[in-house]
């Protein structure tokens, strides 16, 4: 029987970067914790603002770490952006940054094009160039719907902070005067997609390391939240970003020291 916090919820929405992985490296005790949750009959959803990898690529990454998850359990901001556009009748879109988002759009029936797209989806990856940003700006000023994968200005890596999609979105918003529609956390859209098929009485908790996106998003969605953090206490945070629980690692769901 699952003890302590692990037994208080039916569904765990788990952030990726900083909770399960640091860059490309799995956090082994966290992967083990997810395996134990699954063995205890819990439902797992990966809810990540990272748009760089597709859901299939993430599934394969988890498999290499010894964790088996169906693609349907993985909800990325890139896929959420593509699904959002398909729900709104968009059939032609351009993507700046994020190979994972480029893969997601065709799976949702959207043609990738840099010529007169109906929408432009902006994420981030290391290959994004000035010319990419210029193209996105041109599309937006010509009337294309401006969609951002996520607002994170940075993300954790083993060597420090990496430049996130949010910083690029802010630059394009400054250049165009147009604010993007955000698909990822903390906006409700990605939470609604992740929870769409759950029973109405399911006890759901969001577990993440970012108060601005994970915890704030959970509060907006009316969900419980757990912050994975070693250097922040709830007293340091404003109410809308304050989690229900702070843990140093996912393993502490089981009462580990």
- What residues act catalytically? 15, 17
Q: Which two tokens stand for residue 31?
A: 């992967």
Rounded to an integer, what distance in angstroms lies between the CA atom of residue 3 and that of residue 31? 18
Rounded to an integer, what distance in angstroms lies between the CA atom of residue 92 and that of residue 12? 34
Query: Are the CB atoms for 36 and 5 separated by under 8 Å?
Result: no
Residue 101's contacts (CB-CB under 8 Å, 6 or more residues apart) are: 51, 78, 79, 81, 82, 95, 121, 123, 149
Q: Which two tokens stand for residue 44?
A: 């797992």
CA 57 to chain centre: 15
Query: Are the CB atoms for 92 and 111 separated by under 8 Å?
Result: yes
CA distances from 213 to 20, 31, 100, 111, 177 (A): 16, 22, 20, 30, 23
Whats the size of the chain, residue-wise? Answer: 257
Return the residue matching tokens 């603002």: 49
């Amino acid at each position: 029987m699952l003890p302590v916090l692990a037994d208080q919820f039916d569904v765990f929405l788990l952030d990726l970067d900083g909770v399960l992985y640091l860059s490309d490296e799995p956090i082994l005790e966290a992967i083990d914790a997810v395996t134990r949750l699954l063995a205890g009959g819990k439902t797992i959803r990966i809810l990540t603002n990272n748009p760089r990898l597709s859901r299939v690529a993430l599934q394969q990454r988890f498999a290499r770490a010894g964790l088996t998850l169906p693609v349907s359990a993985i909800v990325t901001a890139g896929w959420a952006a593509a699904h959002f556009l398909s729900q709104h009748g968009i059939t032609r879109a351009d993507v700046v940054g994020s190979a994972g988002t480029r893969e997601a759009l065709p799976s949702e029936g959207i043609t990738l094009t840099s010529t007169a797209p109906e929408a432009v989806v902006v994420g981030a990856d290391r290959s994004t160039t000035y010319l990419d940003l210029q193209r996105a700006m041109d599309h937006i000023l010509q009337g294309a719907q401006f969609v951002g994968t996520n607002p994170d200005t940075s993300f954790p890596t083993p060597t420090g902070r990496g430049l996130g999609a949010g910083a690029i979105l802010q630059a394009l918003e400054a250049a165009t005067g147009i604010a993007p529609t955000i698909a990822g956390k903390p906006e409700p859209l990605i939470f609604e997609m992740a929870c769409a098929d759950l029973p109405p009485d399911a006890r759901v908790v969001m577990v993440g390391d970012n108060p601005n996106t994970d915890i704030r998003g959970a509060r907006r969605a009316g969900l419980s939240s757990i912050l994975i953090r070693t250097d922040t206490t709830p007293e340091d945070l404003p109410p809308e970003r304050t989690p229900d629980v702070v843990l140093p690692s996912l393993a502490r769901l089981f009462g580990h020291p």
